[in-house]
Structure 1
């Protein structure tokens, strides 16, 4: 709305101003509501001036006062008054004024003098705010070419300042600061880094990215590090932007015990990307040895929906990853694969290489080189109904050992054997609903297997070919009930009757060595983890699923299940095909009980256990977690009995805890602990605390590894990381920003 005493004369003045300054005849509709004057260098790029009052003196000086706004090429200037001198082609501005470049920079100043296009000039008593994060204050700002802003006697900070005269938590004071809007960089001369009002460091020259830069060559946040094993030192990462599609980060890690260079290389391609990371070390832990590791991964989209993936894991010695805290894996696997997944088809080819880091385990007697070809396809024939499934697999693995005898791994087969397995299968499934909701599914099929063994043990076969027919009938009867309070109960009893032909071959078992009994395979005809072993004979599986939905969001589930067979699954020498802890030994399996509870406030509890005929626990695991806006808390317990067949000489009983809690607006604490109940000792523990506000991140953490072996010894690590916020991409979480007291 026009705030003028005489609207008609005001409009006449505005129109006269527009004509006098050569403005286009067509004006925006907004100009009809307030006094408007426009001027332009070209008809395609008009400048717009809006104010409560506009006057012209001497035919060449335009003065606009009261809620003045000037706009040009996306820039917006607000001030109390603006005077435009056409002869000098300058704008004299009386503040307080605000200049917004239309992208990410806002300038606040007391007064200024700018060119008509707002690209050049001088502002006094100015403050620059970049991307609502970084602030630059100066006595004077000089703008040039719309690209460079030069600040004199400037202070730079991303900390919030609540009172006039109060020092921010940190700031960089400089004799001169130049901001290049095109490269989005800050160049500082004579820079002093202050904590509060105390100078900490001096830099004759300093270059920093502005907050909108995501990738720029330069140093990243350093970390102070102390370890009882590796000594005291510092990590100083240096990021190198090679191009828009690739970068390299080099991190010297120097202590009194090690000289290490860490690296990470990343590159994006049109159809995918790669990433490699690793380190080279010369330390006093292993004098005279050069130590290193390499991890790499990549994924690429290929024609016809195929996806190529690879990962590489290599290390110079068994203890390097754990001693330096790079990884806790005790078996490395490197793999390259090509895969295609469609609605009714799956294809995959993969080559995998394994290397063990476990003490007392020899990679030469493990299947180190493994090849797999997999294919699955399903059809829905209209005439016969139901679903047809076809699958094929080719598998082979190679050991570098040529031993014809068995070592201490309890598998009774030669440790130098190499295996090739070919498998093809066909299945037909069809389901009906009968008898008021009884869901019936019939399945029949056949598997054809060929296994060849190079270097088989003396008492086992070197090749085997067989066809295995099978059939199963599954009955489900889902029932639902809703109580008066709105709680929904779903109960589903289920029974499966099955038969699998054939007999157990006297041939090496390499893949089906770790077998689990859980909700996922209760209704499976074979619960072996791979096809080099199959369950044989008649069987029946029965169970019950119960789910409860409460109106308040509480959800709970419970599953009970058991398997009964006409005979136990035995090897040709009379030993059990299933291990003791699998829960599947004998003609009757252990009883499976599994459940989960989810509450509306983020609490989740999951448990699974197997019970034998006298209801003693044979295997158990449980996980409880609680997650909300301030808390992430988790606890896991696992219990496994002694089982030589699974290479477990003693009972495993462990607790693991992990927690993160936001103690206050700016403080977050974290902790983790892993405790071995069986040996009554801690495995590892860690604690950390982080302070975060709008301008700084400070993290202090400590961890302890208690375990020791022939290649490892206990160690304690402490690290301190301090990061300045504001010189990076925008932080979306504003909950850490400090509030000023009124």
Structure 2
């Protein structure tokens, strides 16, 4: 208490400073006394605060006439941004902005350490250090060398620009000189965007040979930047470029590269553009552009695994009662077994939905309008030699309008009932198809009654169990259009559309007649942390629907049994699965499953997918595959991750990869290897190795705050 009382008395002393409009420093010490008319002495646990800066020292002598502070150490100065400066002795002005410090050591953003024989503070902005050692590594013991360091004759830290400048710098590894730089500039840890080199990457590819990539980042003002990455290998020369720009109401990103290699004679390149903008009246614009010189370029260089290019533009707006979207897309296939000529390459879509609530009228009205069109470049009006059961040149346009009303009620016994009535009109036009009628205009009335009867049981400690029987009776009238189905060629049956009027993905086909769906949902939550669920469902029709594929599980009058389940524990284990059980074959026609296990150190996952053969979906043989992915932290320093994808139908691996990472508080190194087992004729199998080493503590190398280690005391 005496320290604080004496310190408060000291605040009244610098009268000349307050008279000039300058805030006096707050000074606290074990002892404060006036040595002469203009000299104030504080000693013993001295703490001074001025303009957000905090000074700790053993003795401070303040000369009011000269406006200087003579300080005896150990000294510690903490800046408002958290930077720390220590020294053995110092002479500073009263604002800590100018002066000389002996035996100085600066810690920037709790990461980067700069130790010097002497430091000079200039203008409150610059700190000039002489005979400097810079590192972000923990140094234990006087004779122990850091893993890496930079020694320089002079270092200047610009606090305003957040840059560090070196003169005659030598980069050392375990105190062994490796590189010499006459001049060197690096950003300090607090700067997010700074011109300079990013961490280099070393790669070895069985197709491209040994090479290195050295990205260089160039900010262009506060809202845009360019990253230029030369990539040189024994078999190729590549220049990569990424451009980013942020606007007031959106942003745009451009990724591109140009290559010359020994694999093909021509120049190779690609361009990917993505953008998103907010428009007036809550509209939003999204667009993308993709182009590549040849089919294999993206995969060989690792830019993308896409096998189709998509160029699109979409305008949308969504709010509480309306939804609107209009888009155009142009696709280009990269698959050797496909051709863009016979696939819908240009697609136009528009959808609008409006919710309407009328006074004194129960329920909710909805009005939907959908327009769609797609174009195939081929002029053939028959199926060509590909034998995919699709006419090569078929072009389609359709317009649909649906008016519906729906409401929900609670009946005696807790039964929840839902009513739905709707009328849909579809106008379909088809060109260049000798097998189909050129047009169809169809009116489809429909109605559905949905019943849910939830039973909830509460057990000890907060356990809850839900059993909910589900039922729906739906009817759709009208005649099926005589035009060919070009969109509803694949159907899915899952728990999301168990209770639905139509399970076709598009309006060129709708379910007809009476359809009954029954199901049950069970869900349990236990207070000890485990959770489980099961959904069973089945659909019955008056007659089988020939427009539905066999593997969808809906082709017969009595559908396959839908089974969906999940189980999860508090320990991070989770399993989920979904399948369609074919009673006639006593087997699953379609199934998928996923298992995940996550602990503090382990992440393990596995997926399984099964699709039975179905000629209607151009699948002559069954398809199934396994995928495995895992990550494990062996120690704080060592970790590994990997993946493996195996095609069970062809009995071959498709892709595999493994990465090992080592890191401490100042270095991060990642070694990776990947293998692509290509089966396509336009791709070759390849193996790639990669190595990335980053020095932490700079804004370009990653943060060093998350990793801390302590020095051993024995």
> What band does the TM-score fall into relative to the shorter chain?
over 0.9
Q: Distance in 2 between matches of 1:73 and 1:219?
A: 36
CA contact (8 A) 1:409 1:647 kept: no
Give the aligned partner of residue 383 of structure 2: 406
- Separation in structure 1 between the aligned mates of residue 407 and residue 158 of structure 2, nearest angstrom: 70
TM-score, normalised relative to structure 1: 0.93
Moved segments of 4+, more than 4 Å: 17-21, 408-413, 729-735
- Cα distance change on mapping 1:678 and 1:547 into 2, 3 Å: same
Matched, 1:111 2:89: yes
Q: Which residue of 2 aligns with 1:579?
A: 549
Contact 1:665 1:735 in 2 (8 A): no
- In structure 1, how many angstroms separate the alpha carbons of the residues matched to 2:202 and 2:65? 61
C-alpha distance in structure 2 between counterparts of 1:257 and 1:302, whole Å: 46
Aligned equivalent of 2:699: 728
**Does the alignment pair 1:217 with 2:217?**
no
The corresponding residue for 1:296 is 273
* Residue of structure 2 in register with 1:702 after alignment: 673
- Counterpart position of 1:591: 561
- Conserved? CA contact 1:418–1:454, under 8 Å: yes
Deviations 1:477-525, CA, capped at 9 Å, x for gaps: 1111233565321111111111111232221222112211100111111
How far apart, CA to CA, are the structure 1 residues paired with 2:359 and 2:568?
42
The question of 1:244 aligning with 2:222 is answered yes
Deviation at 1:637, TM superposition (A): 0.4
Q: Given that residues 256 and 269 in structure 2 are in contact (C-alpha distance below 8 angstroms), is that contact kept between their aligned partners in structure 1?
A: yes
Superposed, which structure 2 residues align to 1:424-573 within 5 Å?
Answer: 424-457=401-434, 459-484=435-460, 486-570=462-546
Q: Which runs of 5+ in 2 are unaligned?
A: none
* Structure 1 segment 225-244 matched on structure 2, within 5 A: 225-244=203-222
Measured after TM superposition, the shift of residue 104 of structure 1 is 3.3
Query: 1:19 Cα shift?
Result: 6.6
Alpha-carbon distance between aligned partners in 2 of 1:455 and 1:49, rounded to the nearest angstrom: 90
* Aligned mates of 2:246, 2:131 — CA distance in 1: 42
The Cα offsets for residues 402-437 of structure 1, whole Å up to 9 and x where unpaired, read as 111113565645211211100000111122221311
CA displacement, residues 623-655 of structure 1 (integer Å, 9 cap, x when unaligned): 111223322211000011122222223211100
Q: C-alpha offsets along residues 448-473 of structure 1, whole Å, 9 cap, x if unaligned?
A: 0001112122x311111010111111
* Conserved? CA contact 1:479–1:491, under 8 Å: yes
**Map of 2:612 onto structure 1:** 641
Instruction: Select which of 49, 61, 84 maps to 2:27.
Output: 49
Q: Distance in 2 between matches of 1:143 and 1:107?
A: 11
Answer whether contact 1:688 1:699 (CA < 8 A) is retained: yes
Cα distance in 2, alignment partners of residues 18 and 596 from structure 1: 68
- Structure-1 separation of matches of 2:620 and 2:289: 31
Shift of residue 18, structure 1, vs aligned partner: 6.3
**3-state DSSP of counterpart to 1:251:** strand
Q: Residues 73, 616 of structure 1: CA spacing in aligned structure 2 closer, same or farther, 3 A cutoff?
A: same
Q: Which moved more, 1:69-78 or 1:268-277?
A: 69-78
1:713 to 678, 684, 687: 684
Distance 1:215 1:40 in 2: 40
Q: Partners in 2 of 1:584 and 1:129 — Cα distance?
A: 68
Is residue 113–residue 121 contact of structure 1 (8 Å, CA) maintained in 2?
yes
Shift of 1:21: 4.2
Deviates more, 1:381-390 or 1:238-247: 381-390
Among 68, 80, 85, the alignment partner of 1:102 is: 80
What residue is the counterpart of 1:650 in the other structure? 621
Report the CA distance between 1:139 and its aligned residue: 0.8
Instruction: Write the deviation string for residues 555-595 of structure 1: whole angstroms up to 9, x where unpaired.
Output: 1110111111011112xxxxxx1122111112111111011
Q: Following TM superposition, by how much is the alpha carbon of 1:243 offset from its aligned partner in structure 2, in angstroms? A: 1.0
| Contact kept? 2:156, 2:166, Cα under 8 Å | yes
For 2:522 and 2:360, the matched residues in 1 are separated by: 36
Aligned to 1:2: 2
SS in 1 for 2:413: coil
Q: CA deviation at 1:672?
A: 0.4
| 1:536–1:66 distance in 2 versus 1, CA, 3 Å | same
Q: Name the structure 1 match of 2:659.
A: 688
Distance 1:281 1:19 in 2: 72
Partner of 2:162: 184
Partners of 1:591 and 1:702 lie apart in 2 by 43
2:330 and 2:492 map into 1 onto residues whose CA distance is 24
Provide the residue aligned with 1:381 in structure 2. 358
Q: 1:378 deviation in Å?
A: 1.4
Say which is worse superposed, 435-444 or 485-494, in terms of deviation.
Answer: 485-494
- Distance 1:695-1:733 versus aligned 2 partners, 3 A rule: closer
Matching residue within 381, 387, 390 for 2:367: 390
Q: TM-score normalised to the size of structure 2?
A: 0.96
Local SS of the residue matching 1:166: coil
